[in-house]
Each structure stands twice: as structure tokens, then as C-alpha cells.
């Protein structure tokens, strides 16, 4: 399907974008041969990591999904920099247990790694999901001493819908949670969604149920960042063009921050998490982001 003409308006839909075109652009599962097998591989690897490095569960609410797994190596310094990961799944699928395998490369570097879960659509609205991840980070910050972690300038990383949620964490007034303004510092958005209007017009909204006003208010491109950054954005070179357009929209909207886009020559939506876990440019960039946070 041919791409519609690009628009010059910062957050408007590409000119001529139909629902069929948007459905194809945002259907990440259609871009790989067997997405279920990929997810099963993540789950198998996560079980092995969790067996060898049992996490501490931190709860931030009464719902079963309002929980965080915190991984910390026995030799990590106190306090160690805290990295928070927020999973994707279009706000309606997946869980923290699937992504525990991402903890290993960070823990090996002496970091504390927190893997956040949250309630899902259609049980709750996207505003509730944003509130959940904010509450999760706030609880981690309050309990940082017990976890051997540094409560300031927490690095946040998210994939897909998690990239959206990470951006919303970077646009949070932490005084509402009784926390310092620099609670969140650097961020990494991988294949994120930052203008929700085109997503609302796609099949994704069948379960998420956004109305126009909600999509606008929950879009990071319409929010002011509160974190100092830096912010690193990336997506796979083989992903549909909307994912690259989304990250460039946020880079323009948040030009007050130091924003870098890491261009990748290839890679699908589904191998992004593998690239974060394995040696290579994305993992190197993520670890450099944390190191930059520690030298600020």
C-alpha cells in the first residue's frame, strides 16, 4: 500500500491516510513471520533470568497488575542507578514476566532494573494506565533506600506503548506525588507512540477506546516535558514509516530537551527488545544514557 503524502503540520495525520492504511502501519504483528514464537522466546528467557536472579516485587496498588519486579545484583553499589522498563502491547497485552530477560545486561553493569506492570485496556482507560506507571515510579522512588537504588534522575526505558508511557513519565509533575522535580531524568523510547490520534483511528482503538479529546490529552506531543533528559528515540529500520514519523514528531515537539534519534538500518518492531538485551548499538546507547545520568 503506497504511503500518503507527508503533511507539513507537526502532528496532523499524513494527507490521505485512510483507516486501512493506518491499520497496516500500526499492525506490528503483521511485520514478522511468527510473533507468538518471538514472545514465547522472551518468556522462556525471562523464566531463566528470574530463576537465577529472583526479583523483589514492589506493589503500588491493589490490582494484581499494579506491581513491579526489581532486579539487583548482590555486588551492586548502594545506592545504584535505577533503570525502569515499561513494556508494550498496545496498552492491552503482555506483562512484566515476559520482559524479565532485559534485566540481565543492566544488572551486570551494577544497576538496579525495575520491570513495571500496569492495568490494561479495555478494563481501564489509557489515562488510568498513565496513572499506574506514574504511581509505580513514585513508589520505587519512595522505597529506593530499601532497594539499594538512587531515587533521583531515574532512567526510564519503554518499548512501543511503553515508549508512550515513558514519554508521559518525562512529562510528569512529580510534586503531585510529593517527590522532587528531578525524579525522572533520561529516557529511551523504542518504537514509541507519541501522537495518539492516528492510533485512535486504527484498529488498535477497538480495545483501547480512546475518544478524540482523550487521545489528544494523552499524547506526549501535546504535553510539556518536565524531565531534563536527555531523550533518546529509535525504531527499527524495517518498521512501517509511521513509527519513524512518530519519533520525529516528538523530537520536534520536545526540542527544548536534548533529543537524539538513533537511526537503525534494519530491525522489526519485534526484535527491538532483543537488540536492547544483546551487545550492539541499541544496548550500548541505553547503557551510555545511564552513565550520562550518573555523571550529571
pLDDT of 8 higher than 50: no
Instruction: Please report the pLDDT score of residue 15 as a whole number.
Output: 79
Mean pLDDT of 26-48: 95
* Residues 200-240: tens digit of each pLDDT: 999 999 999 999 999 999 999 999 999 999 999 999 999 99
pLDDT of 196 higher than 80: yes
Q: Which helix (H) or strand (E) holds 260?
A: strand 259-263
- Helix, coil or strand: residue 233: strand
Residue with cell 508521559: 168
* Residues 160-195: tens digit of each pLDDT: 999 999 999 999 999 999 999 999 999 999 999 999
* Radius of gyration, CA atoms only, the chain: 18
All structural domains of the chain with their residue ranges: 21-294
Q: What's the CATH fold of domain 21-294?
A: Rossmann fold (3.40.50)
Query: Using CA atoms, how far apart are residues 90 and 105, in angstroms rounded to an integer?
Result: 25
Q: Does 173 sit behind a cis peptide bond, omega within 30 degrees of 0 on the bond before it?
A: no
Mean pLDDT of 7-18: 66
Q: Which grid coordinates belong to 147?
A: 532497594
pLDDT of 5 higher than 50: no
Alpha helices in the chain (DSSP H): 19-26, 35-52, 103-107, 126-142, 144-147, 161-169, 196-200, 205-208, 212-217, 241-253, 272-277, 281-294
pLDDT of 255 higher than 60: yes
Mean pLDDT of 87-114: 97
Return all residues near 63 (Cβ < 8 A) that are at least 6 apart. Answer: 119
Amino acid at each position: 500500500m503506497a504511503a500518503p503524502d507527508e503533511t507539513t503540520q507537526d502532528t496532523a495525520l499524513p494527507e490521505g491516510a485512510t483507516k486501512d492504511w493506518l491499520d497496516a502501519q500500526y499492525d506490528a504483528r503483521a511485520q514478522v513471520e511468527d510473533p507468538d514464537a518471538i514472545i514465547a522466546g522472551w518468556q522462556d528467557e525471562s523464566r531463566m533470568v528470574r530463576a537465577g536472579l529472583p526479583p523483589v516485587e514492589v506493589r503500588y496498588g491493589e490490582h494484581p497488575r499494579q506491581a513491579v519486579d526489581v532486579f539487583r545484583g548482590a555486588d551492586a553499589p548502594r545506592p545504584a542507578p535505577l533503570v525502569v522498563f515499561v513494556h508494550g502491547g498496545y496498552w492491552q497485552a503482555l506483562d512484566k514476566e515476559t520482559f524479565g530477560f532485559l534485566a540481565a545486561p543492566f544488572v551486570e553493569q551494577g544497576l538496579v532494573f525495575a520491570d513495571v506492570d500496569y492495568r490494561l485496556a479495555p478494563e481501564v482507560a489509557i489515562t488510568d494506565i498513565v496513572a499506574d506507571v506514574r504511581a509505580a515510579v513514585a513508589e520505587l522512588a519512595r522505597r529506593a533506600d530499601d532497594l539499594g537504588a538512587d531515587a533521583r534522575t531515574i532512567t526510564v526505558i519503554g518499548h512501543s506503548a511503553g515508549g508512550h508511557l515513558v514519554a508521559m513519565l518525562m512529562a510528569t509533575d512529580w510534586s503531585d506525588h510529593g517527590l522532587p522535580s528531578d525524579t525522572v531524568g533520561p529516557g529511551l523510547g523504542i518504537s514509541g507512540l507519541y501522537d495518539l490520534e492516528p492510533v485512535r483511528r486504527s484498529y488498535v482503538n477497538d480495545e483501547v477506546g480512546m475518544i478524540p479529546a482523550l487521545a489528544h490529552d494523552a499524547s506526549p506531543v501535546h504535553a510539556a516535558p518536565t524531565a531534563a533528559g536527555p531523550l533518546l528515540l529509535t525504531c527499527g529500520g524495517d518498521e512501517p514509516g509511521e513509527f519513524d514519523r512518530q519519533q520525529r514528531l516528538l523530537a520536534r515537539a520536545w526540542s527544548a530537551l536534548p533529543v537524539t534519534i538513533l537511526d537503525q538500518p534494519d530491525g522489526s518492531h519485534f526484535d527491538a527488545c532483543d537488540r536492547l538485551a544483546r551487545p550492539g548499538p541499541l544496548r550500548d546507547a541505553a547503557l551510555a544514557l545511564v552513565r550520562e545520568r550518573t555523571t550529571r
